[in-house]
Copies of this chain bind each other. A is one copy, B any other.
């Protein structure tokens, strides 16, 4: 099974909308997965998507909402009354509902909340709204199955059946005390394989992984990934069970985090896609290009400083792009390894060891590359021996400096709690370009004395 939207299907749907053939549209779409309908929505005009949205059952449309891109969801919700939105949210899990409400304007938010039918559900959603979206609290849902440690298994199973009705997937049954403090867990499997007469206190597992409600979502993701967890309970400052996070939300966090780092490394500062508007794409790309252009100004000035060399050693200028490019590439490599290491928490050892390692590594790379350059400059490029020597020495020095900048700038940013991924891409290439050119011409000046 792999769903692909065909042109024929899209044309068929558009025709049905045009003909206002609601009945056939319902038959066609009711059979589809909500994630597939969301994909179709992205291909339609907003008016068409809204049209379909209104004829489908709220059980289905509610599930479609969280799957949509932010801007399309916003447009569709604008076409709905507070009561209609509330009907959708009544069908959703608390975490998805809270995410959607959080995007509404303040006045609409209150209106929608007052229209929610299920009071318990509404309370849970409002409760979730107060957590920062980048923390465990912002990820968690209120749907969970919990039992009291003082119950026996019989009461427990009865209670559980009632609670399970509201929970899409039961991963674990959490055990709490009278104060709602998390004490342990029961696995569904244990329940399947244990006699119903056993008292709860004898069955439950006291060891239970949990996260605090204020833990950053990337830390939650790392923990769930490391320990292969499919759900994790969330506790507040007093150890009371307040929610649970499921792995499907964590998959999204991991993907988003990786995409963001990738885009930063490529000099793109917002979450954009190829199909976004030209304005959105420009907003994401232009700032980094302006930064690179400013760096370019500096490189022009630096080269100007050494303009005197042009009379007798003009050849030197032919090598500036080569030196700049090598500096940029080495810097990006070094910074990417550090940024990834920081993200995976796989960097150990002291700064001093890292310095020694980075210098040895770049010395090894530098000597190999400089040898190729020396031979190449002589046989392929036919420059004078002295120029060949200068670019060779310059290349080794530039590679060492560039790799040190690439390594230590992200480490420094990290220490000051700034996202080290900012230091990859254009930032590192630009600063290394300038440094590289400066080093190259300084060496040339030292040797040639112009």
Chain A interface residues (CB < 8 Å from chain B): 1-2, 33, 35, 43, 160-161, 164-165, 167, 169-170, 188-189, 192-193, 209-211, 215, 219, 223, 225-228, 230, 247-248, 250-252, 254-255, 258-259, 261-263, 265-268, 272-275, 278, 281-282, 285-286, 288-290, 292-293, 295-297, 299-301, 303-304, 307, 310, 314, 317-326, 328-330, 332-333, 335-338, 340-341, 344, 346-349, 354, 357, 360-361, 364-365, 368-369, 372-373, 376-377, 380-381, 424-426, 429-430, 433, 437
Contacts and interface: CB of A to CB of B under 8 A. Distances in A.
A193 B325 contact: no
Contacts of A347: 274-275
B296 A337 contact: no
Given A268-B333, A299-B321, A300-B377, 8 more contacts: A35-B227, A35-B228, A161-B192, A165-B193, A188-B192, A247-B251, A266-B424, A282-B361
Given A1-B223, A248-B230, A281-B361, A322 B300 contact: yes
A259 B340 contact: yes
Contacts of A210: 1
B268 A265 contact: no
A66 to B, nearest CB: 10
Given A161-B192, A275-B347, A326 B292 contact: yes
What is the copy number of this chain in the assembly? 2
A430 B322 CA distance: 9
Summarize A's interface: helix, strand, loop or mixed. helix
21 contacts: A167-B189, A247-B247, A247-B248, A247-B251, A254-B258, A258-B258, A265-B265, A265-B266, A266-B333, A266-B335, A268-B333, A278-B357, A290-B369, A293-B326, A300-B319, A300-B377, A307-B318, A310-B310, A320-B320, A320-B321, A329-B426
A387 to B, nearest CB: 10
Contacts of A267: 329, 332-333, 336
A322 B328 CA distance: 13
A310 B267 CA distance: 34
Contacts of A365: 282, 285-286, 289
Q: Which of A285, A326, A347 has the most CB of B within 10 A?
A: A285
**Interface hub of A165, A170, A325, A347 (most chain B Cβ within 10 A):** A325
A374 to B, nearest CB: 11
Nearest to A278: B361
Contacts of A307: 314, 318
A322 B340 contact: no
B346 A292 contact: no
B265 A262 contact: yes
Nearest to A257: B258
Contacts of A160: 192
A318 B304 contact: yes
A314 B307 CA distance: 8
Nearest to A188: B188
A326 B294 CA distance: 10
Given A274-B341, A321-B296, A230 B230 contact: yes
Given A192-B164, A230-B169, A267-B329, A318 B303 contact: yes
Interface centre among A2, A170, A318 (most CB of B within 10 A): A318
A346 B42 CA distance: 10
Give the top 4 A-B pairs by smallest Cβ distance, nearest first. A296-B322, A266-B336, A258-B258, A274-B341
